[in-house]
Structure 1
């Protein structure tokens, strides 16, 4: 057991990319089956291993971003050089501008009525210090925190076609990276977006597995931006999907709580939108994942080919469903089938089933199990390896 503990700790501490080709912080998918059979006990014995991986993932992004991503006052990754106000008033803006902040943008999420402002911080001040200074003027100031994808792809075979993403079935939205091919309606909310990504392409394909013939509407919040995945970009993406009357949206991203996103999600839900989100892969000792933890969001965990909840699965303030998250392959941006692992790949299956048959029938389909929430959904939607 001690040898297994050291092995997991070493894997979990390996830095991983969080952007264009995301990878699972602890590369648990590469562990031998012999170790996976005993690793539940290992994780319970060493919960800090996955937390170390989460912190290393943030550090790796900071190093690779060229200064465009820094830590905020909570230690989370955030866009450098600016702060965000939710539903700001003139007095708050004026007070901050008198203190050296400069308004970059003041607008609202169209169709949802949620206002926000982005302000550049004074020159020469670190973001965490600027946030503390700004909150002396207004308590509604936050950073534009970065959200990470929660899954991994590993190439295993030659290229295949990924046709059939858009047909005549239910409409399902997704907020992620861009999708390859021209059959998906896409909109970009980051520099260089929409741009095909491995992660986004796999998510779109899985929506089609859960709801054959589904029409996918994709919002790319990453593009080529090192600071992609920010709260403002995700909020704008939700607004765009709401204006397009998309009723079900899958989000396989995780980050810290953010007041702008909280307000926007609540406003979208009030319009009838159902948001489905993955609980992430940072382990049960990590902070609750958002947006999965916002009230009313359908929180989804992943299971492996043997029906076990992924040992790296994170947690949310609540859990609604489980779905396959490992032990199968999905296409990357070039159409190559790749083995996937992570709660990322469970969320689109649940979103697709909700769009196809509704909550009542999904509850009827769900198979009861330990740590499954309401049950396991779409257990036969993918071909398990």
Structure 2
């Protein structure tokens, strides 16, 4: 029976979505045996039928969530060929010159804006495609008009965690904050309620209506600097918050995140935490590489869409520190996504954070693991120190489930 369940799981993870949901296909997995093995290792003490149900439910939930988003915002959001939500009717050129701008306009595109990522000298231009043209057709036409430039859609990124649905029971860890006085930590997310988290906090917006306070961003900020009863994982750090969502239903797009990274570079931030996930994007890849070249460390969550989801970005970009989450018993979260590489695990469940109203709430997701790793980097000043303190979990040595081990295991604020 167990063999048949694993075989069925392999088939479900490898097969495309049924005809009724073809606009958002699951990825084709070339090595399904490896995937099922990976899912099994993620939850070694969970019955196999629960693993099967969770993996398929996560995959379907992602499909349903993104399709609903498009239905509610058809004029703002569309799906590309891979099923990723993008800004509807928009195409982006990276490092455009006057000739490529003119060629795009001659091809029927309308220039929305031409700008440069602050502090990094990376140019980009956003264009509106001809009315009624699909994203794929617009990309094809733009690549023909500007063959020597990087052309892409403007994909959206989503938070990888939220308030837990039910109370939890977990071991209580004595407060053990880590001092990071003077360190500057950047957060790319929504807006933060500065009255809830410990000061100092500087924030600005990169979307319509931003900064606009939300629970997810405030929770992440509270885990780093403390406040409202949450212990600080990087006590004394200064937070720099870039709101890439505001009130825009198409917020969290790649151009907003690129601008946010550039702004954080100009603020001399040493480490940036990003608890958002989306597909690969050339402008964002260039921006991250440029920030890294200036010594900025970027930490990102692997997401919560499960091992059947496509690899998450920015966690999968080279050099980005990719983080997964564990529960209060050091078990990897069953919903944890995947990236092209994995560096560390950190607490991501059976924990408390502050919401935007200042109330302590239970949270769950790899979203809340990433800021703890960023906090430890801020406190130690180097990822190399994390390797020395990381506690090995799972198979001996680095692995694809826990990376190089558990970091900040005693940072969790949990109920007594």
Band the TM-score falls in, shorter-chain normalisation: 0.7 to 0.9
Equivalent residue for 2:356? Answer: 333
Q: Describe the shift of the 1:326–1:39 C-alpha distance in structure 2 as closer, same or farther (beyond 3 A).
A: farther
Deviations 1:338-367 (A, max 9, x none): 111100000000001001112232222210
Q: Would the aligned equivalents of 2:187 and 2:273 in 1 still touch at CA under 8 Å? A: yes
Structure 2 residue 305 is matched with structure 1 residue 282? yes
Question: By how many angstroms is 1:197 displaced?
Answer: 0.4
Question: By how many angstroms is 1:51 displaced?
Answer: 1.9
Moved more, 80-89 or 143-152: 80-89
Which one of 202, 222, 228 corresponds to residue 245 of structure 2? 222
Equivalent residue for 2:412? Answer: 382
- Secondary structure of 2:89's partner? strand
Q: Would the aligned equivalents of 1:169 and 1:211 in 2 still touch at CA under 8 Å? A: no
Distance 2:410 2:261 in 1: 30
Structure 2 residue 163 is matched with structure 1 residue 153? yes
Unaligned runs of 5+ in 1: 10-34, 158-163
Question: By how many angstroms is 1:285 displaced?
Answer: 1.6
Which one of 95, 111, 119 corresponds to residue 87 of structure 1? 95
Structure 2 residue 209 is matched with structure 1 residue 199? no
Distance 2:48 2:329 in 1: 14
Q: Would the aligned equivalents of 2:160 and 2:276 in 1 still touch at CA under 8 Å? A: yes
Equivalent residue for 2:203? Answer: 186
Higher strand proportion: 1
Distance 2:373 2:298 in 1: 11
Distance 1:207 1:63 in 2: 36
Equivalent residue for 1:250? Answer: 273
Unaligned runs of 5+ in 2: 7-11, 13-42, 168-176, 226-231, 395-400
Equivalent residue for 1:310? Answer: 333
Which one of 390, 396, 399 corresponds to residue 366 of structure 1? 390
Q: Describe the shift of the 1:333–1:318 C-alpha distance in structure 2 as closer, same or farther (beyond 3 A).
A: same
Deviations 1:10-56 (A, max 9, x none): xxxxxxxxxxxxxxxxxxxxxxxxx9952566335774432222222
Q: Would the aligned equivalents of 1:155 and 1:337 in 2 still touch at CA under 8 Å? A: no
Distance 2:111 2:214 in 1: 32
Moved more, 130-139 or 202-211: 130-139
- Secondary structure of 2:154's partner? strand
Q: Describe the shift of the 1:335–1:156 C-alpha distance in structure 2 as closer, same or farther (beyond 3 A).
A: farther
Moved more, 199-208 or 122-131: 122-131
Q: Would the aligned equivalents of 1:155 and 1:336 in 2 still touch at CA under 8 Å? A: no
- Secondary structure of 2:87's partner? strand
Equivalent residue for 1:297? Answer: 320
Deviations 1:182-233 (A, max 9, x none): 5421010001100110000000011122211221110000011000000000
Supply the RMSD in Å over aligned alpha carbons: 2.6
Question: By how many angstroms is 1:175 displaced?
Answer: 0.1
- Secondary structure of 1:122's partner? coil
Larger Rg: 2
**Aligned positions, number:** 350
Structure 1 residues 224-239: aligned runs within 5 Å: 224-239=247-262
Equivalent residue for 2:26? Answer: none
TM-score by length of 1: 0.85
Structure 1 residues 29-178: aligned runs within 5 Å: 38=46, 42-43=50-51, 47-65=55-73, 67-139=75-147, 140-154=150-164, 168-178=181-191
Deviations 1:49-79 (A, max 9, x none): 3222222221121123352111123321011
Q: Describe the shift of the 1:353–1:314 C-alpha distance in structure 2 as closer, same or farther (beyond 3 A).
A: same
